[in-house]
A and B are shown apart, each in its own frame.
Chain A
Amino acid sequence: MTETELSKRLRRTASDKPEVEVDFSPAAALLAERLLPAALEIIARYPEGRSRSALLPLLHLVQTEQGFVSPGGVAFCAEVLGINKAQVGAVATFYTMYKRRPTGEYLVSVCTNTLCNTLGGQEVYDQLVEHLGVGHDETTADGRITLEHAECLAACDYAPVVTVNYDFAVDEATPEAAIGLVDQLRNGQQPTLSRGSRICSLKEMQLQLAGFSDSRAGAVADGPAGAPTLRGVNLAQEHGIAVANFDPDTPITRTKPSPREESRGKLATVAEKATSALRTAAGKIEAAAGKVEAAAEAAGTASNQPAGDGKPTGDSVRNKEQK
Chain B
Amino acid sequence: MTQPGRAVLQKLTPVLTKRWLSPDAWKIGVYERLDGYAALRKALDVHPDDLIQLIKDSGLRGRGGAGFPTGLKWGFIPQGDGKPHYLVINADEGEPGTCKDLPLMTYDPHSLVEGAIIAAYAIRANRAFIYIRGEAVHAARRLRNAVDEARAKGYLGQNILGSGFDLELVVHSGAGAYICGEETALLDSLEGFRGQPRLRPPFPAIAGLYASPTVVNNVGTIASVPYIVLGGADWWKSMGTEKSSGPMIYSLSGRIVNPGQYECGLGITLRELIELAGGMKPGHTLKFWTPGGSSTPLLTADHIDTAMDFEGVAAAGSILGTTAMQIFSDQDCPVYSTWRWLEFYHHESCGKCTPCREGNYWMVRTYRRILSGEGTHSDLDTLQDTADNIFGRSFCGLGDGAATPVMSTLKFFRQDYLDYIEGRTAPRLSAKALVGAH
Contacts and interface: CB of A to CB of B under 8 A. Distances in A.
The answer to whether A and B come from one shared complex is yes
A232 B8 CA distance: 12
A194 B102 CA distance: 15
A55 interface: yes
Contacts of A219: 141
Most chain-A CB neighbours within 10 Å: which of B134, B135, B247? B135
Interface stretch (B188-196, B366-374, B395-403): B188-196
A20 interface: no
A280 interface: no
Interface string B226-244: 0001111011001100000
Nearest to B347: A151
Interface in A279-318: 286, 289, 293, 296-297, 299-301, 303-304, 306, 310-318
Interface in A194-215: 195-197, 205, 208-214
A248 B17 CA distance: 17
B138 A94 contact: no
A300 B166 CA distance: 17
B20 A96 contact: no
A157 B194 CA distance: 31
A167 interface: yes
Main secondary structure on B side of the interface with A: mixed
Interface string B179-216: 00000100111111111001100100001101110000
A212 B103 CA distance: 21
Contacts of B350: 94
A153 interface: yes
- The bracket for how many chain B residues form the interface is 35 or more
Contacts of B207: 314, 317-318
Interface in B74-131: 82-84, 93-99, 101-103, 106-107, 126-127
Interface in B131-147: 133-138, 140-142, 144-145
A239 B9 contact: yes
B282 interface: no
Given A96-B175, A98-B175, A114-B96, A230 B82 contact: no
Contact of A235 (B4, B23, B45): B4
A224 B23 contact: yes
Interface stretch (B64-72, B259-267, B386-394): B259-267
A74 to B, nearest CB: 14
Interface stretch (A3-11, A178-186, A254-262, A270-278): A254-262
Given A257-B47, A321-B202, A223 B138 contact: yes
Nearest to A83: B192
Nearest to B159: A286
Contact of B260 (A197, A213, A227): A227
A133 interface: no
- The bracket for how many chain A residues form the interface is 35 or more
A152 B344 contact: yes
B193 A312 contact: yes
B137 A297 contact: no
B232 A252 contact: yes
A46 B191 CA distance: 10
Contacts of A1: none
Contact of B46 (A150, A196, A252): A252
A243 B199 CA distance: 42
Given A118-B254, A321-B202, A237 B21 contact: yes
Contact of B47 (A50, A237, A245, A256): A256
Contact of A296 (B42, B84, B102, B337): B84
Given A247-B231, A257-B47, A52 B42 contact: no
B117 to A, nearest CB: 14
Nearest to B163: A260
B107 A209 contact: no
Interface of B: 4, 6, 9-10, 12-15, 17-18, 20-21, 23, 26, 35, 38-39, 42-51, 53-54, 57, 82-84, 93-99, 101-103, 106-107, 126-127, 133-138, 140-142, 144-145, 148, 159, 162-166, 170-178, 184, 187-195, 198-199, 202, 207-208, 210-212, 229-232, 234-235, 238-239, 247, 249-254, 258-264, 276-277, 294, 324, 326, 328, 332, 337, 340-341, 344, 347-348, 350
Closest 4 CB pairs of A and B: A231-B260, A96-B176, A250-B232, A232-B262
Given A166-B137, A229-B103, 13 more contacts: A50-B210, A95-B177, A115-B253, A118-B328, A197-B137, A197-B138, A211-B170, A211-B173, A231-B262, A253-B57, A293-B166, A296-B84, A318-B198
18 contacts: A91-B194, A94-B350, A97-B174, A166-B134, A220-B142, A225-B103, A232-B250, A235-B276, A243-B235, A245-B231, A252-B46, A253-B53, A253-B57, A256-B50, A261-B45, A296-B83, A306-B191, A314-B187
